[in-house]
Chain A
Amino acid sequence: MGIMNLHIKNGIVIDTKNGIKAEKMDIFVKGGKIVQESEIEGDVKVIDASNKLVVAGGVDMHAHIAGSKINSGRTMRPEEMRIVRQTAGKLRTSMGRVLLTSPAIGYEYAKMGYTTSFEAASPPIGSLHTHEELDSIPVIDKAMLPVFGNWHLVFKYTAEKDTEKMKALIAWAIERTKGFGVKVVNPGGVEKWMYGGNVTSLDDPVEYFNVTPREIITELVKATEGLNLPHSVHLHCNRLGVPGNYETTIETMKLVSGFKNDERQVLHVTHVQFNSYSGSSWRDVGSGADEIAKFVNKADNITIDMGQPVFGHATAMTGDAPFQFNLHKLLGAKWINKDVELETGAGIIPLVYLPKNPVHAVQWAIGLELGLLTDSDKVVISTDFPNGGPYTKYPYIMAMLMSAKMREKEIANASPYIQKATNLPSIDAEKTLEETIHMTRALPARILGLQTKGHLGVGGDADIAIYDLNPLEVDPSTEYEVVEKALSTPIYTIKGGEIVVKDGELVQEVWGRTYWIDAMSQVSTEVIEEDLDDYFTHYYTIQRYNYGVEEAWLRAPEKIVVG
């Protein structure tokens, strides 16, 4: 089909970044970008979007879609691969229940109107593998976040409180891995797991390195802000999955109270549902979502994403290896562990969320509480795919946030324990369609620092979703079934100006870009040369000149220079 000029006519546009609240207007596309009408000349394909919702393509800012974790999960779980979504032909065969093959990942995002997704955690030394899988995902634009929170060199510069060295390490590592930002997973805890432990608080020291999670987070935020990277530190907090952890989460958020950035948050706390538990054990676990939402709403420099569990199958996969070992013990489930030399670790466990299970029901309720109680400008919709379940359920989550009636119906099917342990049953707040569009488009794009994503203003990428939903007429509060169905099956998904989905079906395969950040001009890596040489000579098992990824090896890299 190729790239053509498009005229999307008479659609009802919601574009929160540009202050467009369900207005009838036309959108023009040329060369893969949104343009002014005056720029269009020659052949134009007109798409009649009368009475249809027209929005930017969705942006998933936190999912596990590529790399050794998800791929080990596929190997361990052939039972996840029995669902045939599409047989082979002109397009690829597409497989998977919740875990998906790489072609399926791209296809399913497109079939939901999503056009961008970020792999949320990659071991730096394994980044070439992560990129190979990203390069095998069709349609969407993507990027990946290398993990820093348990890297020996990060510990060293934390202990030395040397921000210049930390900045140099971050810039160097992001360039080498072709990464996008600074992901931190259970800082200090994963290193302690190497000898069977974990951290129990922000002030629990990591043996040998003499650093605490508090110090690691603070120093990484300081350096990331010093570099002014497009995306802030992206943090998976300590004590994930432990009853009573909501207090640690709030204490962690307080660490950045002295930091300010005019463009964006200074800390993004991810899949917060897993870090919002009150109580002292799984017997009296309850929700701390209320307190967390209050704190986030008050702070002007923190954003979160939900990490919403969806009832049904899931696969837990995280760099938080000690947590995964606990899950293995708790569930008696098969267990993959991946200790990664000098840098990080990971674990993978099969999981199913059952509505009648009190703990699962509480987790489910907490996710929704966070989504409902937090300002729509500070909370992004996510399932932490595949930890909370499939991203294909985002329309379900959006519908739930917009309808107290729908929630009431779902709550009736869930364990009654949530009545006691959470506030969800008494929350009658309802997000508007505009708010949930914001939470899936403009907000994640802003949090990631992606200027051309999440909106339909001139200069934006022509990543567009058109849904069979008239926002001027529909009442999401009562017509939740209509809303969920419409948001699940776009009439059109347009990626980079090309129509990839029509009437919910994939019509062609296109290939997106991989964004990466180059902040090298801001630092002198000379200050860390000696340490790098020391580590590669003595402790890594690969040579320094073989560490990292070159642009030429990637399908379609797009460098974003910072500074």
Chain B
Amino acid sequence: MENVVCTFCGSVCDDVQFDTQQYKGKKFCALGMSKFSAKERIKSPMIDGKAVSYEEAIDAAVDILVNSKKPLLYGWASTVNEAIRVGVILTEKLGGIYDQCSSVCHGPGVLSTIEEGLPGGTLGQVKNRADVVVFWGSNPMEAHPRHPTRYSVTAKGFFVKDRKERKVIVVDVRKTKSARLADEFIQIKPGYDYAIFSALRMLVKGEEIEAEEVGGVSVSKLAELAETMKNAKYGAILYGLGITQSRGRDRNIENAVKLIQLLNRYTRWIIWPMRGHYNVVGAGEVPAWEVGYQYAIDFSRGYPRFSPAEFAVSEALLRRDCDAALIVASDPVAHLPKKAVEHLKSIPVIQIDPFPNMTTLISKVVIPAAITGIEAEGTAYRMDGIPLRVKKVVDSEYWSDEKILHEMLKRVEVRMGFS
């Protein structure tokens, strides 16, 4: 058994162990174990379905990229920072679009940060101090199965030593598995998160609401929640796609952040997103330090421009703006709107991924990669930004994402006369 770091979800559990002979693990949740189980791989690099060498595939990919007017380089949330960094520089040199999974996921959280900021903290703060935890539109039991035990529900910490000392509230449109863990479940009408945050802000300030209910919740119930929040010593709202991808999107989060700003005038509260893929945080942090923005970045003018309404993956594809695509560690064919996928099908696509998926089927060049966290190492950021080094514990013939991208960048620089 080797100590490894799980590379499935944003919890990035770093206490798991992996038997490299049997491909069995200890302490993994079902989601993590599925990633670390033996399963079908892309066998070899391919051009038009025909097996080729890594060099040939990379040359073909570079041909496509340097002949493209505006390539889309998309994915990144399931690889390490070292690969992402090369990917950002590659996009910059090519004058393409860099986008990552956040644009169809937690991107609205970036927009609300631009509007109002983000009063947050690490998961250890929740574990050690939070006496009130609110899961809002998030469902850790199904999306981040070990989150409740490691960080947020039954986790025993320095000041909050016991589950009994922590009140857990779930706010959602349906009774999720996580709701069963909670001390209290508040069911709201779909699309009313914004209104409820506004109501809570009024109630915390002591203003009266002239209505019986807001968003399907009685005002007396909301007043009770407002009181619970004000009386917490250290509270945390952990929100999910339930508010980022429902009516209001970034405005929902912005309103939630304003509630947190207000609560900090009385006591301590933080708010934090429950990020999905294991390094989706890195997929935003790396371009932020390299070029200033987290996602939806266009380099066609030789410098980065950020505009989610134009340069996010779906929007760029719907506009037929890109004439080639490099997809790294992602499956846009399975997840993007049908019309966007249609355009993707009509342009040359290069895929880098350890596993075959829907996108493999439409890719002209397919380059298999080592599985990061098992066959390749690198840095990943947990959902709260804590950096962790994921491990290489198995030797493999497959090249790492970083190596593949680095070889591409080297060739692109030569072809474009930069080196």
Contact of A87 with B121 in the complex, beta carbons under 8 Å: no
B389 lies within 8 A of A337 (CB): no
CB–CB A329/B265 < 8 A: yes
Give, as a whole number of angstroms, the nearest-CB distance from B108 to chain A. Answer: 13
- Answer whether residue A45 sits at the interface, using C-beta atoms and an 8 A cutoff: no
A507 within 8 A of B: no
Q: Which residues of B contact A340 (CB under 8 A)?
A: 121-122, 124-125
**Is the Cβ of B158 less than 8 Å from the Cβ of A78?**
no
How far apart sit A72 and B114, CA to CA, in the bound complex (Å)?
10
| A93 with B303: CB separation less than 8 A | yes
- Comparing A15-23, A129-137, A142-150, A464-472, the segment that makes contact with chain B is A129-137
On whether the beta carbons of A334 and B117 are closer than 8 Å, the reply is: yes
Chain A residues within 8 Å of B46, by CB: none
Over the window 275-293 of chain B, the binary record of Cβ atoms lying under 8 Å from chain A Cβ atoms (1 yes, 0 no) is 0000000001110111111
Q: Which residue of A lies closest to B85 (CB)?
A: A136
**Complex contact A102–B290 (CB within 8 A):** yes
Interface 1/0 per residue, A520-563 and B, CB below 8 Å: 00000000000000000011111101100010010000000000
The reply to whether B290 and A196 form a contact with Cβ atoms under 8 Å apart is no
A196 to B291, CA, bound (A): 35
* Cβ-based interface call for A88 (8 A): yes
Query: How far apart sit A215 and B301, CA to CA, in the bound complex (Å)?
Result: 56
Across the interface, do A128 and B387 meet the contact criterion of CB distance under 8 Å? Answer: yes
Contact yes or no, A342 B124, CB < 8 A? yes
> A541: nearest residue on chain B (CB-CB)?
B124
Contacts of B5 in A (CB 8 A): 546
Q: Which residues of B contact A339 (CB under 8 A)?
A: 120-122, 125, 270
What is the CA–CA distance of A101 and B121 in the complex, to the nearest angstrom? Answer: 24
Indicate the size class of the contact surface on chain A. 35 or more
B307 → chain A closest CB, angstroms: 10
Complexed CA–CA distance, A80 and B306 (Å)? 12
| Stretch of B88-96, B132-140, B197-205, B351-359 lying at the A interface | B88-96
Q: Is the CB of B290 within 8 A of A71?
A: no
Pick the contact of A84: B270, B303, B385 (CB < 8 A): B303
With CB as the reference atom, state the residue of chain A lying closest to B266: A196
Query: Measured between C-beta atoms, what is the minimum distance from B138 to chain A in Å?
Result: 18
Which one, B120, B124, B156, B388, contacts A336 given CB within 8 A? Answer: B120
In the bound assembly, the distance between CA atoms of A77 and B156 in angstroms comes to 36
- The answer to whether A195 and B389 touch across the interface, beta carbons within 8 angstroms, is no
| B15 within 8 A of partner (CB) | yes
Q: By the criterion CB–CB under 8 Å, are B379 and A341 in contact?
A: no
A92 within 8 Å of B (CB atoms): yes
Does B128 lie at the interface of the complex (its beta carbon under 8 Å from any beta carbon of A)? yes
The answer for the CA separation of A167 and B150 in the assembled complex, in Å, is 31
| B31-90 interface (Cβ within 8 A of A) | 81, 85, 89
Q: Check if A196 sits within 8 Å of B264, measured CB to CB.
A: yes
Chain B contact residues, majority secondary structure: mixed
Known: A78-B306, A195-B268, A335-B261. A341 touches B92 (CB 8 A): no
Chain A residues within 8 Å of B28, by CB: none
Among residues of A, the one whose C-beta sits closest to the C-beta of B413 is: A90
CB A345 to nearest CB in B, in angstroms, measures 8
B25 near A: Cβ within 8 Å? no
Q: How far in angstroms is the closest Cβ of chain B from A413?
A: 31
Among A75, A539, A543, A553, the residue within 8 A (CB) of B288 is A75
Q: How far is the CA of A71 from the CA of B5 in the complex (A)?
A: 24
* Structural contact, A194 and B234, CB atoms closer than 8 A: yes
Does B98 sit within 8 A of A, measured CB to CB?
no
Tell me which residues across on chain B come within 8 A of A540, comparing CB atoms: 124
Bound form: Cα–Cα A348–B157 in Å: 27
Tell which of A125, A132, A540 has the most Cβ of chain B within 10 Å.
Answer: A132
Name the A residues within 8 Å of B379 (CB-CB): 128, 132, 553
Interface bits A499-533 vs B (CB < 8 Å: 1, else 0): 00000000000000000000000000000000000
Contact with B along A408-444 (1 / 0, CB 8 A): 0000000000000000000000000000000000000
**How far apart sit A558 and B115, CA to CA, in the bound complex (Å)?**
41
Asked if A459 is at the interface (CB within 8 A of a chain B CB), the reply is no
Q: Is A159 an interface residue (CB 8 A)?
A: no
The smallest beta-carbon distance between A537 and chain B, in angstroms, is 10
In the bound complex, how far is the Cα of B169 from the Cα of A455, in angstroms?
A: 61
Chain A contacts for B156, CB-based, 8 A? 538
A93-B304, A194-B268, A545-B3 as given contacts; A338 in contact with B123, CB under 8 Å:
no
The answer to whether the Cβ of A299 comes within 8 Å of any Cβ in the partner chain is no
Contact A132 B81 (CB under 8 A): yes
Residues of A within 8 A of B306 (CB): 78, 81
- Nearest CB on A from B218, distance (A): 30
Taken together as a complex, chains A and B put the C-alpha atoms of A71 and B92 apart, in Å, by 19
Residues on B with beta carbons closer than 8 Å to the beta carbon of A101: 289-292
- Let me know if A126 is at the binding interface, CB within 8 A: yes
- In the assembled complex, A297 has its CB within 8 A of some CB on chain B: no
- Look across to chain A and name the residue whose beta carbon is closest to the beta carbon of B233: A195
Interface centre among A96, A103, A194 (most CB of B within 10 A): A194
Smallest beta-carbon distance A73→chain B, Å: 9
Minimum CB–CB distance for B287 against chain A, Å:
9
B237-272 near A? 1/0 per residue, CB < 8 Å: 000000000000000000000000100111110100
Shortest CB–CB separation between residue A319 and chain B, in angstroms?
A: 13
**Residue A258 interfacial (CB < 8 Å):** no
A93 adjacent to B270 (CB under 8 Å): no
Interface string of A96-134 (1 = CB under 8 A from B): 100001110000000000000000000001111100110
Shortest Cβ distance from B390 into A: residue: A546
**B89: contacting residue among A74, A92, A208, CB under 8 A:** A92
Q: Does A76 contact B (CB under 8 A)?
A: yes
A78 touches B293 (CB 8 A): yes
Q: How far is the CA of A553 from the CA of B391 in the complex (A)?
A: 12
A93→B291 contact, CB < 8 A: yes
Measured between beta carbons, the chain B residues less than 8 angstroms from A88 are 92-93, 95, 299, 302-303
Say whether B321 faces chain A, with CB atoms less than 8 Å apart: no
Given contacts A78-B114, A336-B118, A543-B15, contact A129 B294 (CB under 8 A): no
Which A316-374 residues sit within 8 Å CB-CB of chain B?
325, 328-329, 333-342, 345, 348
Q: Are B158 and A81 in contact (CB under 8 A)?
A: no
B381 at interface (Cβ–Cβ under 8 A)? yes
Shortest CB-to-CB span from A200 to chain B, Å, is 18
Asked if B386 is at the interface (CB within 8 A of a chain A CB), the reply is yes
Of A129, A348, A539, A543, the contact of B117 (CB 8 Å cutoff): A348
Instruction: Flag B112-156 by CB within 8 Å of A: 1 or 0 each.
Output: 011111111111110111000000000000000000001100001
A503 to B118, CA, bound (A): 42
| B110 in the interface (beta carbon within 8 A) | yes
For A84, the chain B residues whose CB sits under 8 A away are 303
On whether the beta carbons of A126 and B291 are closer than 8 Å, the reply is no
8 Å CB contact of B304 from A95, A132, A541: A95
State whether B292 touches A78 (Cβ < 8 A).
Answer: yes
Tell me the bound Cα distance from A127 to B379 in angstroms: 12
Which of chain A's residues have a CB closer than 8 A to the CB of B270?
337, 339
Residues A95 and B291 in contact, CB atoms below 8 Å apart: yes
Known: A95-B292, A129-B385, A335-B119. 12 other contacts (CB 8 A): A75-B284, A125-B386, A128-B388, A132-B81, A194-B234, A325-B264, A337-B120, A337-B121, A540-B124, A543-B15, A545-B3, A546-B389
Q: List 22 A-B contacts (CB under 8 A).
A: A71-B288, A71-B289, A74-B288, A78-B292, A88-B92, A90-B419, A129-B385, A132-B289, A132-B379, A132-B387, A195-B233, A195-B234, A195-B267, A335-B119, A340-B124, A341-B121, A341-B123, A341-B125, A342-B158, A538-B156, A546-B5, A550-B389
Chain B residues within 8 Å of A, Cβ to Cβ: 3, 5, 14-15, 81, 85, 89, 92-93, 95, 110, 113-125, 127-129, 150-151, 156-159, 233-234, 261, 264-268, 270, 284-286, 288-294, 299, 301-304, 306, 379, 381, 385-389, 418-419
A contact residues vs B (CB 8 Å cutoff): 66, 68, 70-72, 74-78, 80-81, 84, 86-90, 92-93, 95-96, 101-103, 125-129, 132-133, 136, 152, 193-196, 208, 325, 328-329, 333-342, 345, 348, 538-543, 545-546, 550, 553
Top 8 A-B pairs, shortest CB-CB distance: A341-B124, A339-B121, A87-B302, A81-B292, A334-B117, A128-B387, A337-B119, A335-B117
